[in-house]
Each structure stands twice: as structure tokens, then as C-alpha cells.
């Protein structure tokens, strides 16, 4: 056995037995598992050996997030300098964005992990890795100028009430990253709405409205070009702006079967269908936006690929996934078009559908059972009548 | 369990209800004057607040009001058809206090005849009621105009269900101070109302004399205030014209 | 002893935390401390006196109209309280608006009448009603304390969080002013209570 494994075993024993250190066993175990592999082996029953465990799932998602993340770094800097009228060099923009992101992500991880470790200690369990992705997602769906203390409060709230209270990783009934954002949205609305917060340190004279904010007011003419919205060179949250980067990540997730293509596809179709229906009604300017615009604006694609596909809060049955996705897409567009108070509909519709997930699963399974029962009955009656 | 006859039940319930009804009527009757007084006081407090009289003791409010204010009622041509002060009518017979501005506004829209209430404070400030729609519910208030017919002395805005911290800020001192000193008629005495500018008056190319800052992040409510001022103050233009120089 | 029995509703038999009654109004009126306290007192008064009156009448009420008689008495009391508030505490009655009238739908009132007043003597019934109302009021006090402090920075309408906090970027938590947060706070109180009194935990 390698030196590293020997050391890990020695330390594990020490943490388990030593009176003082045993209080920190959960924390040690989390770091140990993260760096190496879990050391538990199965005892009984038949198992399928698969190389994908929770840790690898999380890692895949992290990798899929990196195109959006890196683009976000660059874009944050680019928008900042643009507001002053400067076209800055690539690395200058990238560095600026990275430095803006760093404090936010640190605060997120520290506050979230504090809650997780606390609960793991109390329950005398081990820290699950679920928070790593959440901690990555939260900074990507918040505006760059968000005050750090609000991030901490929101993350603690989300981890505590949307996750730990219900049992921890795998038991949450709402997407914790979205709960954090929703908390900030309802608790401190002034830091997450309006025009001035979507560009980091922007020059005062520059109006920094995102395309969605424009739609909510009915300013259709000032929307950016499709190319800009697809590439993502528009103001907005770190991870949401570049549809292209998100799609690259989506490809990875679909190929590795970590995210369900059914959900992603049905969200898109739902959104397009609702957008198209509104075009037909067309009474307000917001209704006449071409359907594919909705895909490019705001957090639609980001939500569809990274939030809606969270395996814990989405339905397990295939038909359930399709219904879930469709409803999310439709609801998002409906909220965006019909309600001036909620410019970003994606967050709210995903949260709402999270609540419906058990019901959707139940209905899918019931339908399946009923179909099989009727099949059985008709087979039986066929046999009898022969 | 004792079995009660139907007759007993009927009589029992009837007596019970009669007693309860009597007790309630007596109590409500005794308390009604106080309740009406409270409602009136609240309205007066808002009117005085628009004219700049803040934080008056509740018991002094009505006294102060009757001392310093005249209640005027004007018709749609701006002519004063009724004047009331401290219990006496010097003209006409309608009290501005009793007029519901929303009903009159609807009459105006339908092309019917209408009366408008005006509260003249110290005979040099005219306070008029306004109402409109916010993002989530109704917004309303009072606007106090100086005796030059065009300068706003103060405002008192209220709301029902706007978001606290966003739309709810229309009742804050900060937002309302942006209206003090603004004019609703331009240099050529055309009615322009006071616009509520998104992004701030200083960043726009609007003349700051006729504009106030909107609330950042509360665009719809701010627009609601803009509409409210324009549509309601417009009805008072004939009256204010009498005072414009 | 008698007194110990009546302390029950304040803690281990608290109507909101343990019997889970009357939660609705607890969410609506607790945005500030002042209306919450007034509401608590109103419920205690209504509960106490309706218990008293119905206990006095308990041997005369025909079974068939039992609920109706209860409703009439409680409704009358609620109207009296409502009118009284509108006359003497107008500002607070505006904040409480319909929730005073809704006291009649508060399960605590009818619940205690059925469970206690109809089968006990008047004075104990009166005290039981009061105690339950006060237990309810206590929870309202705690919830409204946090909601007003964190949601508006004030307590009893006096600015408590200093202006310097705000100048440094502190913001009032708007979610505290909304009812869902009240539910979460009540949940946390129940959580704490059950951790301390383990016998309250259901299996």
C-alpha cells in the first residue's frame, strides 16, 4: 500500500479513538474522502460495480461548469471596462472578473460548509459531498456586486432550511442554490433588482440593464443582438450570460449521463411553446418577443442545464422528467411575460416544480401501474373468452 | 344526556340571540363616534403631513385642522362652489372632507359632472387627494401645492401592498423630498405635472424643475406615481389656472 | 397543584407549538411587536370570557344547537373586541384589520370550549381560556420580536438598529416581513422546544 494510504489509515484511527480529536472526525473524514476514496466496502448482496460515485458525479458537474465560469470571469471584467468606454485586454478582464468572484465563492463555501459540518457532527455522520456543487453554483447566479454578508446569510439559510432540516444531501426537496438566490431576492430585493448591480463597479453614467430588465419594462428595441446574447457579452450574473459556454457544459453532462437530456430538452421546448403562444396573443410588447429570445436571455439555459437537472429534486421517472421540464419552460416564460415584478422567472418556476416533483413521480408510477393492470385484465379476459 | 324539547331549543336560541344583539348594538352605538373620530383624524393627519405639518399630537390634530384649513369644493371649471370652515359654510353646502375623490374621478372619466375636494391650509397651500395603481395594489396620497398654483410644497404617499424596501419606499421621506419645490406648470403655464425619472433626474436630460427621482429597482411603482400625479392633478388644472401668474 | 396545571398551556401544552392551533393569525399579525401583543391579549380575552360564559351555560345548552350557541357567543365577543380596538387603538386595529374578526376561526377558542369549558366549572374554565390565550400570545411575542427586529430594525416602533449599521451597508431583511418567514421561525421555536423537552417528540 502506498505511503499516502498508510498515513490516511493511521490518521483515521487516531481521529476515531482519541477523545479530543473525535469531535472533528466528521471534518477530517470529509477532507480524507475528498482527496482519496471512501474506505467502506460492501458486505452482502449483489452489487454492480460502477466507477461513478457521488464524488465523481460532482466532479463532472464542476468540469461542465468551467466553460461558463471562465467566460464569466472574462465577461465581468469586459462589462466593467466597457462601462467606462475602455476595451481592455483579455487577461485584464479575466483577472478582474476572477478577483470579483473569489470573495463571493469563499464566503459561500465557508458559510455553507460551516452549517454542513455542524450538522454532521451533531448527527455523528460524515459530511456528504453534496455541497461542493451548490457552493459553486451560488456565486454563478448572483450579480457581481452582491454584498458578501447577504451571500453568507442566504447560503446559511438555504443549507439549513432547504437541506439539513430535511436530512441533508439527497433529502432536500428544493434546489439549495436557487433557495439561496430566492432568499436574497425576497429578503434584500434592492441588491438583486434594478439596473445598477449587474455590472461590477460600473461607471455611474452607464445604464446596465440586463435584457430581461428591459423586457419587463417593455423596452424591446434596446435588446442586444442575438450574437451578443448567445456568446454572452451582455451584463448579467457570472454564469448565466453565455449560452454557448452553457451548451458546451451541457454536452459533457449529457454524454456522461450525469444530467438528463430529457429535462433539458423539455424545458427548451416548453419555453419555446409558451413564447410562441404569447406571440399569437401579442397584446403587450413583452409577448411579441420571438420565442428563441427567451432561451438566450437571463438564466434560462443555465437553469435548464444545471438547476432543473439536479437529480434529487427532479422526478425519477422518464415521463415525469418530460412533464417536469415542459412545465418549467412554460412557467418561466409566463412569469417573465405576464408579471412585471418578477423579471427572472426561471428561479421561481424551478423551485415551484421542485415541490411538485414527488407528485409528478407518483402520478407517472400510478399511470404505469394502471396501464399494467388493464393490460393484465384484458389479457385475462382474452384468455377466458377463448 | 338530557333530551330537550323542540320548544325549549327554539326559545333558548331566540332569547340568546336577542340578548347578544341588544348588547352588541349598545356597545357599537356607544363606540361609533370615537371610531369615526379616529378615521377623520387619520385623514386629516395625512392632509396636514402633505402640507408640512408632521408629528402633530393626535388630540390636537382636529383642532389644528379646523383652525388653519378651509375646505373647498370646486366644479370642473375650477370655480369654487363651496367653502367650509369650523362648522360653518360660507358658500355652498358640501364639505370637501365628505367627497370621495375616487368616485368623482370615475364621474370625470365617464363625462359626467363632478366635484373636486381641495383643502386650503392657511389660505396659501392647497392640498388635493390623488390615487393610482402601484405594482401590487393601489397607491394614494395627498399633494400640497403653493398659492402660485404650480409649486409643490409637499406630498404624503401611501400604499397597500407594495414591496417593502422597493415600491414601499414611496412613503419614505427620501422619495417624497424629491417632489418638494418642483413645479407642475412650465414657464408658459402649460400643465406638465412632475415626472418620475428612472435612473435619476441628474442623469437624464429632463428639466429638474419638473421631475423627481424614481426608486431604484421599483420601476413599476415609480411609474405608478408618475401616472397618478399626472391624471389626478390634471383635473385640478382649471382651478390652479386661477392662481397662475 | 392547580397553578401548575394552568402553566401547561404556556409551555408544554402551548396551543401553537404543541397543539398546533391558531397558526394562521400567528403568521399574519407578527410583522411587528405592537400588533402581535394586542392580538395576543385579544385572543386571551376572547378565549377566557367565552370559556367563562359557555361554562356558565353548559348545563342549559341543547346538544343539537351546541355549536351554534358557541358561535354566537364567540362572535359576539369578537365583535366587541374589534369595536373596542377600532375606538381606542385605531392605528393598531388597522394593522390587525380582519384578523381580529378572524379570531372566531381560531381553533384555540372553539377547541378549548369543547375540550374544557363544557365540562368544567366557570372559574377554572376562565383561567384555562386565559392561559391558552396567553400561551398563544407568548409565541406571537417571540416571533414578532425577531420579525420586527430583523425585518424593520425597530422594536415597538422604536428604531433599535443604529443608523451606523445602515450606512455601512446593512439592510433590513425583507423576507422577515412576509408570512413565510414567520412559519419558519415558529418551526425553529418548535425545534428548540422539542430538543429541550424530549418527551414532546413524537415517535
pLDDT at residue C1, as a whole number: 45
**In this complex, is the C-beta atom of B165 within 8 Å of any C-beta atom belonging to chain A?**
yes
Phi-psi region of C86 (alpha: psi -120 to 50; beta: other; left: phi over 0): alpha
Q: Which residues of A touch B217 (CB under 8 A)?
A: 189-190, 193-194
Q: Do B165 and A217 touch (CB under 8 A)?
A: no
For residue C4, give how far its alpha carbon lies from the nearest alpha carbon of chain B (Å).
32
8 A C-beta contact, residue B79 and residue B236: no
Instruction: Tell the residue number behind the cell numbers 471584467, with chain if given.
Output: A77
C98–chain B Cβ distance below 8 A for any pair: no
Q: Which three cell numbers stand for residue B114?
A: 363632478
Tell me which chain C residue has its CA closest to the CA of residue A186: C175
Q: List the domain boundaries for chain A.
A: 14-36+54-197, 211-369
For the segment C63-76, the average pLDDT, to the nearest whole number, is 90
**How confident is residue A21, by pLDDT bands cut at 50, 70 and 90?**
low
- Looking at residue B18, its pLDDT comes to 94
Q: Does residue C51 carry a pLDDT above 70?
A: yes
Please determine, for residue A1, whether its predicted confidence score (pLDDT) is greater than 60: no
Mean pLDDT in residue range B135-145: 88
Hey, is the C-beta of A147 within 8 angstroms of any chain C C-beta?
Answer: yes
pLDDT band (50, 70, 90) for residue C162: confident
Query: In sequence order, what are the beta bridge partners of B130?
Result: B141
For residues C136 and C108, the answer to whether their CB atoms sit within 8 Å is yes
Give the pLDDT score at A50: 67
| pLDDT level of residue A165 (50, 70, 90 thresholds) | confident
Calculate helix-pair angle for A131-140, A148-162, nearest 10 degrees: 140
SS3 B116: strand
Backbone torsions φ then ψ of C158, nearest 5 degrees: -100, 135
pLDDT in tens, A247-291: 999 999 999 888 889 999 999 999 999 988 888 887 777 777 788
Q: Residue C171 is nearest to which of A161, A186, A188, comparing CB atoms?
A: A188
Helix, strand, coil distribution of chain A in percent, nearest 5: 70, 0, 30
- With contact defined as 3+ CB pairs under 8 Å, the chains touching C are A, B
Evaluate whether C135 touches C16 at the Cβ level (below 8 Å): yes
**B88 beta partners:** B85
Give SS3 for A40: coil
Q: Return the pLDDT at A213.
A: 67
Please compute the mean of the pLDDT values over residues A116-127 and round it to a whole number: 78
Supply the mean pLDDT for chain C.
Answer: 84
Give CA A49 to chain center in angstroms: 29
Contact criterion met (CB below 8 Å) for A177 and A141? yes
Query: Residue A355 is placed in which grid cell?
Result: 415541490
Nearest CA in chain C to A147: C169
Share of chain B above pLDDT 90, in %: 11
Q: What is the pLDDT of residues B32-55, one digit of tens each?
A: 888 888 888 888 888 888 888 887
Q: How far is CA A274 from CA A218, A320, A330, A349, C40, in A?
A: 18, 19, 5, 13, 48
Phi, psi of B236 (to 5 degrees): -90, 0
pLDDT reported for residue A251: 92
Length of chain B, please? 245
The separation between the first and the last C-alpha atoms of chain B, rounded to the nearest angstrom, is 87
Give the pLDDT mean for C90-115: 82
Q: Is the CB of B202 inside 8 Å of chain A's CB atoms?
A: no
Does residue A37 surpass a pLDDT of 70?
no
Are the C-beta atoms of C43 and C140 separated by less than 8 Å?
no
ipTM: 0.80
Cβ separation of A193 and B203 shorter than 8 Å? no
Query: C26, C143 in Cβ contact below 8 A?
Result: yes
The answer to whether A340 faces chain B, any CB pair under 8 Å, is yes
**What is the pLDDT confidence band of residue A322, given thresholds at 50, 70 and 90?**
very high
- Mean pLDDT (chain A, rounded): 82
Q: A310 phi and psi, to 5 degrees?
A: -55, 120
**Residues of B whose CB is below 8 A from A286:** none
**Non-local CB neighbours of B216 within 8 Å, separated by 6+ positions:** A190, A194, A195, A196
Residue A118: CB atoms within 10 A of its CB come to 15
Enumerate the residues of chain C whose CB falls inside 8 A of the CB of residue B38: 86-87, 90
Sign of the CA dihedral running A137, A139, A140, A142: positive
Residue A221 is predicted with a pLDDT of 66
Q: Is the pLDDT of residue C197 over 50?
A: yes
Query: With 90 as the cut, is the pLDDT of residue C2 above it?
Result: no
First to last CA, chain C: 29
Whole-number mean pLDDT of chain B?
A: 85
| C157 pLDDT above the threshold of 80 | no
Q: What's the rounded Cα separation, in Å, for the pair C129 and C132?
A: 5
Answer whether A187 sits within 8 Å of C184, measured CB to CB: no
Q: Which residues of B touch C90 (CB under 8 A)?
A: 35, 38-39, 41-42
DSSP label of C104: G
Look at residues A159, A161, A172, A163 and name the one whose alpha carbon lies nearest to residue A110.
A159
CB contacts of A153 in chain C (<8 Å) are: 173
Amino acid at each position: 500500500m502506498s505511503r499516502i494510504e498508510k498515513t490516511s489509515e493511521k490518521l483515521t484511527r487516531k481521529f476515531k479513538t482519541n477523545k479530543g480529536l473525535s469531535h472533528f472526525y466528521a471534518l477530517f473524514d470529509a477532507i480524507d474522502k475528498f482527496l482519496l476514496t471512501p474506505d467502506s466496502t460492501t458486505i452482502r448482496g449483489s452489487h454492480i460495480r460502477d466507477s461513478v460515485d457521488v464524488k465523481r458525479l460532482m466532479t463532472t458537474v464542476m468540469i461542465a461548469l468551467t466553460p461558463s465560469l471562465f467566460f464569466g470571469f472574462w465577461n465581468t471584467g469586459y462589462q466593467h471596462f466597457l462601462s467606462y468606454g475602455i476595451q481592455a485586454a483579455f487577461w485584464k478582464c479575466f483577472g478582474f472578473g476572477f478577483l470579483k468572484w473569489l470573495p463571493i465563492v469563499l464566503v459561500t463555501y465557508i458559510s455553507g460548509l460551516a452549517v454542513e459540518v455542524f450538522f454532521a457532527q451533531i448527527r455523528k455522520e460524515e459530511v456528504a459531498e453534496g455541497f461542493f456543487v451548490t457552493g459553486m453554483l451560488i456565486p454563478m447566479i448572483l450579480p457581481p456586486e452582491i454584498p458578501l454578508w447577504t451571500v453568507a446569510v442566504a447560503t446559511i439559510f438555504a443549507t439549513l432550511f432547504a437541506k439539513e432540516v430535511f436530512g441533508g444531501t439527497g433529502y432536500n426537496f428544493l434546489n439549495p442554490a436557487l433557495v439561496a438566490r430566492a432568499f436574497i431576492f425576497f429578503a434584500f430585493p434592492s441588491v438583486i433588482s434594478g439596473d445598477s448591480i449587474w455590472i461590477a463597479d460600473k461607471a455611474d453614467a452607464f445604464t446596465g440593464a440586463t435584457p430581461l430588465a428591459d423586457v419587463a419594462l417593455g423596452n424591446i428595441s434596446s435588446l442586444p443582438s442575438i450574437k451578443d446574447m448567445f456568446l454572452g457579452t451582455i451584463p448579467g450574473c457570472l454564469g448565466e450570460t453565455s449560452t454557448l459556454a452553457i451548451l458546451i457544459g451541457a454536452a459533457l453532462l449529457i454524454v456522461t449521463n450525469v444530467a438528463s437530456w430529457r429535462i433539458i430538452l423539455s424545458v427548451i421546448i416548453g419555453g419555446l411553446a409558451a413564447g410562441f403562444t404569447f406571440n399569437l396573443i401579442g397584446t403587450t410588447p413583452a409577448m411579441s418577443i420571438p420565442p428563441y429570445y427567451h432561451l438566450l436571455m437571463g438564466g434560462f439555459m443555465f437553469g435548464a442545464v444545471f438547476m432543473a437537472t439536479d437529480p434529487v429534486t427532479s422526478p425519477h421517472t422518464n415521463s415525469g422528467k418530460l412533464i417536469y421540464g415542459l412545465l418549467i419552460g412554460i412557467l418561466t416564460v409566463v412569469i417573465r411575460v405576464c408579471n412585471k415584478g418578477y423579471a427572472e422567472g426561471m428561479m421561481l418556476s424551478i423551485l415551484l416544480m421542485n415541490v411538485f416533483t414527488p407528485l409528478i413521480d407518483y402520478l407517472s408510477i400510478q399511470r404505469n401501474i394502471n396501464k399494467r393492470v388493464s393490460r393484465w385484465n384484458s389479457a385475462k379476459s382474452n384468455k377466458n373468452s377463448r | 344526556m338530557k333530551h330537550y324539547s323542540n320548544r325549549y331549543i327554539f326559545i333558548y336560541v331566540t332569547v340568546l340571540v336577542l340578548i347578544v344583539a341588544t348588547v352588541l348594538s349598545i356597545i357599537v352605538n356607544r363606540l361609533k363616534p370615537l371610531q369615526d373620530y379616529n378615521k377623520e383624524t387619520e385623514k386629516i393627519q395625512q392632509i396636514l403631513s402633505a402640507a408640512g405639518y408632521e408629528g402633530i399630537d393626535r388630540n390636537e390634530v382636529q383642532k389644528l385642522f379646523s383652525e388653519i384649513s378651509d375646505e373647498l369644493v370646486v366644479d370642473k371649471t375650477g370655480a369654487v362652489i363651496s367653502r367650509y370652515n369650523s362648522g360653518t359654510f360660507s358658500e355652498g353646502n358640501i364639505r370637501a372632507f365628505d367627497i370621495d375623490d375616487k368616485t368623482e374621478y370615475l364621474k370625470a372619466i365617464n363625462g359626467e359632472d363632478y366635484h373636486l375636494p381641495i383643502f386650503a391650509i392657511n389660505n396659501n397651500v392647497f392640498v388635493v387627494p390623488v390615487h393610482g395603481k402601484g405594482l401590487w395594489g393601489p397607491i394614494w396620497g395627498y399633494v400640497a401645492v403653493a398659492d402660485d398654483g404650480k409649486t409643490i410644497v409637499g406630498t404624503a404617499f401611501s400604499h397597500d401592498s407594495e414591496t417593502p424596501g422597493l415600491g414601499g419606499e414611496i412613503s419614505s421621506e427620501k422619495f417624497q423630498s424629491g417632489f418638494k419645490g418642483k413645479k407642475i406648470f412650465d414657464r408658459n403655464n402649460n400643465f406638465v405635472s412632475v415626472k418620475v425619472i428612472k435612473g435619476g433626474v441628474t442623469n437624464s436630460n429632463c428639466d429638474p424643475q419638473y421631475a423627481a427621482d424614481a426608486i431604484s429597482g421599483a420601476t413599476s411603482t415609480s411609474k405608478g406615481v408618475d401616472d397618478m400625479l399626472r391624471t389626478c392633478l390634471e383635473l385640478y388644472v382649471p382651478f390652479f389656472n386661477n392662481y397662475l401668474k | 397543584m392547580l397553578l401548575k396545571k394552568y402553566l401547561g398551556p404556556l409551555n408544554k401544552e402551548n396551543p401553537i407549538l404543541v397543539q398546533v392551533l391558531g397558526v394562521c393569525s400567528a403568521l399574519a399579525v407578527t410583522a411587528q411587536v405592537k400588533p402581535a401583543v394586542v392580538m395576543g391579549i385579544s385572543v386571551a380575552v376572547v378565549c377566557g370570557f367565552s370559556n367563562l360564559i359557555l361554562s356558565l351555560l353548559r348545563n342549559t345548552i341543547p346538544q343539537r344547537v351546541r355549536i351554534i350557541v358557541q358561535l354566537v357567543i364567540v362572535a359576539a365577543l369578537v365583535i366587541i373586541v374589534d369595536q373596542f380596538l377600532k375606538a381606542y387603538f385605531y392605528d393598531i386595529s388597522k394593522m390587525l384589520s380582519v384578523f381580529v374578526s378572524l379570531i372566531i376561526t381560531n381553533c384555540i377558542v372553539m377547541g378549548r370550549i369543547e375540550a374544557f369549558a363544557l365540562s368544567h366549572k366557570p372559574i377554572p374554565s376562565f383561567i384555562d381560556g386565559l392561559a391558552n390565550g396567553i400561551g398563544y400570545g407568548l409565541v406571537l411575542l417571540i416571533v414578532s420580536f425577531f420579525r420586527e427586529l430583523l425585518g424593520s430594525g425597530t422594536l415597538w416602533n422604536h428604531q433599535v438598529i443604529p443608523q451606523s449599521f445602515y450606512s455601512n451597508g446593512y439592510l433590513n431583511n425583507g423576507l422577515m416581513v412576509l408570512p413565510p418567514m414567520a412559519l419558519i421561525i415558529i418551526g425553529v421555536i418548535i425545534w428548540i422546544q422539542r430538543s429541550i423537552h424530549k418527551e414532546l417528540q413524537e415517535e
